[in-house]
């Protein structure tokens, strides 16, 4: 007799795409297309040019204007959600009713209330949901996390990640993408939701717990045609550590670097723009003048940890829990910090988080 797990390991998985308006969708589809056990069978989006593109590039012949129609008419195992942030919850709730697992692009939602709805439906229907952060698949970030957990830089007291470019429209994002990024209701904010989410995810992952309080500021400083912020800063206060999440839609060039930068009492780990991992450490304890600087050799990620689609499929096949920083529970907490940041910036005060 073949076990259910054995069946999962061997069978084909039918994938439906809910939304094509997030430009990351095309890279994710290429990664899914490289997985032999996945067949992309259908796509749903109200924009005919995007449907035409997925038909041409990926041979997807079944298309729908509504993801609800797709889920009702197709027997899907997994769903790739690349809608606007505010619609992630609708996709997950509808997919869960059909028993389909979901991978979505970061962040988890536009609002905390939506994130909590996602967490609730995942618990009820026991589906797998991955919140895909591209930073998770960086070999240098993965190795930095491993070294930090091993105590290589001592107790972490500071993290920093800066998400920055010249602006979605300015760097060539499609109108289908940037138009909803510039819409507070669909995105959840502006640059803060788009880019501070990375820094919050990184800080929460490396420090290992939720911050006690949040202070934030936002502004429309350079892209003055926007009705949302183009720059934002969130400071996360952990009591014995500080995390910085920076967002910028007006940066010209690569400096200052994205990072992350992880500072510990015995050293620092820094990921540069080329994906190199730098380590700084004292040569002997107590001597802070003689510093060792080294560019570390970064091993390739372990099998199953090389991109979001492969990781997601492995967890579905093996019926294993989703790890942090990709899990629903973890990203519910990320959403709480982001929402506290928006509140802090709007009210000009520190926002304390529930213990």
Total-model pTM: 0.95
Distance CA 282, CA 173 (A): 43
pLDDT tens for each residue of 174-212: 999 999 999 999 999 999 999 999 999 999 999 999 999
> Domain coordinates of the chain in residue numbers?
4-134+306-321, 136-303+335-352
- Rounded mean pLDDT of 213-242? 98
CB 8 within 8 A of CB 77: no
Domain made up of 4-134+306-321: CATH architecture: 3-Layer(aba) Sandwich (3.40)
Q: 136-303+335-352 is classed in which CATH architecture? A: 2-Layer Sandwich (3.30)
pLDDT tens digits, 111-153: 999 999 999 999 999 999 999 999 999 999 999 999 999 999 9
Please identify which residue in the block is written with the tokens 């009210």. 347
- Could you give the CA distance from residue 146 to residue 142 in angstroms, rounded to a whole number? 6
Q: SS3 string of 41-102?
A: EEEECCCHHHHHHHHHHHCCCEEECCHHHHHHHCCCCEEEECCCHHHHHHHHHHHHHCCCEE
pLDDT in tens, 56-110: 999 999 999 999 999 999 999 999 999 999 999 999 999 999 999 999 999 999 9
In degrees and rounded to multiples of 5, residue 178 shows phi and psi of -70, -25
């Amino acid at each position: 007799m073949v076990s259910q797990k054995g069946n999962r390991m061997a069978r084909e998985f039918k994938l439906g795409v809910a939304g094509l308006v997030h430009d990351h969708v095309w890279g994710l589809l290429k990664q899914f297309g490289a997985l032999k056990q996945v067949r992309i069978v259908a796509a749903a989006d109200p924009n005919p040019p995007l449907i035409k593109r997925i038909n041409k590039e990926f041979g997807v012949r079944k298309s729908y204007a509504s993801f609800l129609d797709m889920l009702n008419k197709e027997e899907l195992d997994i769903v790739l959600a690349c809608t606007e942030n505010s619609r992630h919850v609708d996709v997950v709730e509808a997919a869960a009713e059909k028993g389909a697992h979901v991978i979505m692009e970061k962040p988890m939602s536009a609002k905390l209330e939506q994130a909590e709805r996602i967490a609730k439906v995942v618990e009820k229907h026991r589906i797998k949901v991955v919140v895909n952060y591209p930073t998770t698949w960086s070999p240098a970030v993965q190795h930095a996390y491993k070294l930090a957990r091993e105590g290589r830089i001592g107790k972490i007291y500071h993290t920093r990640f800066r998400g920055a470019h010249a602006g979605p429209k300015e760097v060539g994002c499609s109108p289908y993408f940037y138009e909803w990024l510039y819409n507070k209701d669909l995105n959840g904010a502006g640059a803060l939701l788009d880019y501070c989410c990375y820094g919050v995810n990184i800080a929460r992952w490396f420090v290992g717990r939720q911050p006690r309080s949040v202070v934030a500021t936002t502004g429309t400083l350079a892209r003055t045609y926007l009705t949302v912020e183009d720059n934002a800063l969130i400071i996360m206060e952990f009591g014995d550590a500080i995390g910085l999440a920076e967002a910028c839609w007006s940066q010209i060039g690569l400096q200052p670097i994205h990072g992350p930068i992880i500072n510990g009492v015995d050293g620092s780990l820094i990921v540069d723009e080329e994906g190199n991992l730098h380590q700084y450490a004292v040569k002997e304890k107590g001597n802070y003048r003689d510093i060792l600087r080294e560019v570390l050799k970064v091993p390739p990620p372990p099998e199953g940890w090389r991109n979001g689609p492969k990781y997601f499929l492995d967890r579905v096949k093996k019926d294993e829990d989703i790890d942090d920083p990709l899990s629903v529970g973890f990203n519910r907490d990320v959403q709480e910090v982001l929402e506290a940041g928006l509140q802090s910036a709007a009210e000009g005060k520190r926002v304390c988080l529930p213990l």
